[in-house]
Structure 1
């Protein structure tokens, strides 16, 4: 049976406990054995971490130990998948560049803050988004600094809310992307400011598929 590790904590505003429970439920329904923890001590033992098939971090901001981050990177490089959403993966551990290099992006701004209405457009033919139509959300719109190697599956358009970035003109910002890291798969979805944002509808379907896709194969 595949094993998933869901670890949550950090800024309470992103409801990490609720998001972690949501993801754990989907993974259990997919037939995985799921461990849920509210501690980063799960990253302390490198060999134990490599035995996990999927890591799901739900940590906004906070701090991670250097060895803990390197252990997570080594596990993914060895074949453990990693998947996450919103601030829980790509605004985690802002001071740790190893984490950012592995996960493929870092949040830098959300012009308009929460409550911005914008469209999410599918831009690939990958099975991860097959059959999912373009949709609208009302939530934070993430502006990310992105690893150029990522494979983009869905985007949103900036600017929607005005700000100093708007002078640069329109840009299609990745919302859903994947990449490889050694033998491991990396999946990210920028939605999920609150659990309800990603708890139902197209956003939930994209996230559920991504979690399952990222898990180790074979």
Structure 2
């Protein structure tokens, strides 16, 4: 049986316990044995992490020791998958550049706050991960991100939607969903998921289902898609991250 570890905590505004429960349901429904922890010390056993198939962080605005990040990084480099959404993976540990390098970047803003109506555009891609899912509109936080140029972008959103100091620049298509490699491990991220109700939206939940199951051993079966509509509600580098700049 495949093994997954979900670690939730940090800022409670993102409803990490509820989001973790959604992910647990998806994984157990797909035949995974799932361990759920609300302690970062779950990352302390490096050998245990290496034996997993998937790590799912659901932790916003926390602080983490470098040794724990190194353990997660080494596991992913070895082939363990890591997948997550919103601030639970991309705003987990603002002081850890190692975490950001592994996951593909970091959150910087959400102009307009919660309740901004914007469109998620599914890109034509060599990846089948989002095949059959149409563009859709959501009312939620629109994440403005700093993103690793090495990622494979699967969905985007257009900025600006609301005025701000950024809005006098040219329009930009910001990644919403992407994949990348870290060593031989697969990384999946979706910027949607401010709270549990957004994660439960059919296209978002389906994207997360596919991302969570996107593993080195193969692609999960594709379930039905939904028409567009508005939904509301590497080891040699380890030493570098110990250096202060």
Q: TM-score range by the shorter chain?
A: over 0.9
- 3-state SS, counterpart of residue 165 of structure 1: coil
In the alignment, the residues of structure 2 paired with residue 67 and residue 130 of structure 1 have an alpha-carbon distance, to the nearest angstrom, of 38
Contact kept? 1:104, 1:179, Cα under 8 Å: yes
Q: 1:176-191 counterparts in 2 under 5 A?
A: 176-191=177-192
How far 1:216 moved relative to its partner? 4.5
Contact kept? 1:155, 1:175, Cα under 8 Å: yes
Unaligned 5+ residue runs, structure 1? none
How far 1:124 moved relative to its partner? 2.7
Task: Tell me the equivalent position of 1:22.
Answer: 22
Task: Tell me the equivalent position of 2:114.
Answer: 114
Q: 1:188-207 counterparts in 2 under 5 A?
A: 188-207=189-208
TM-score by length of 1: 0.98
Task: Tell me the equivalent position of 1:210.
Answer: 211
Q: Which has the larger radius of gyration?
A: 2
Task: Tell me the equivalent position of 1:6.
Answer: 6
Q: 1:89-108 counterparts in 2 under 5 A?
A: 89-108=89-108
Q: Which runs of 4+ in 1 moved over 2 A?
A: 215-218
Unaligned 5+ residue runs, structure 2? 219-245
TM-score by length of 2: 0.87
Task: Tell me the equivalent position of 2:135.
Answer: 134
- Which whole-Å deviations, capped at 9, do the CAs of 1:115-174 have from their partners, x for residues lacking one? 000000001332111000000000000000000000000000000011000111200000
- 3-state SS, counterpart of residue 24 of structure 1: helix
Task: Tell me the equivalent position of 2:73.
Answer: 73
- 3-state SS, counterpart of residue 166 of structure 2: helix
Q: Tell me the matched-pair count.
A: 217
How well do the aligned residues superpose, as a CA RMSD in angstroms?
Answer: 0.9
Greater mean alpha carbon deviation, residues 122-131 or residues 136-145: 122-131
Contact kept? 1:178, 1:188, Cα under 8 Å: yes
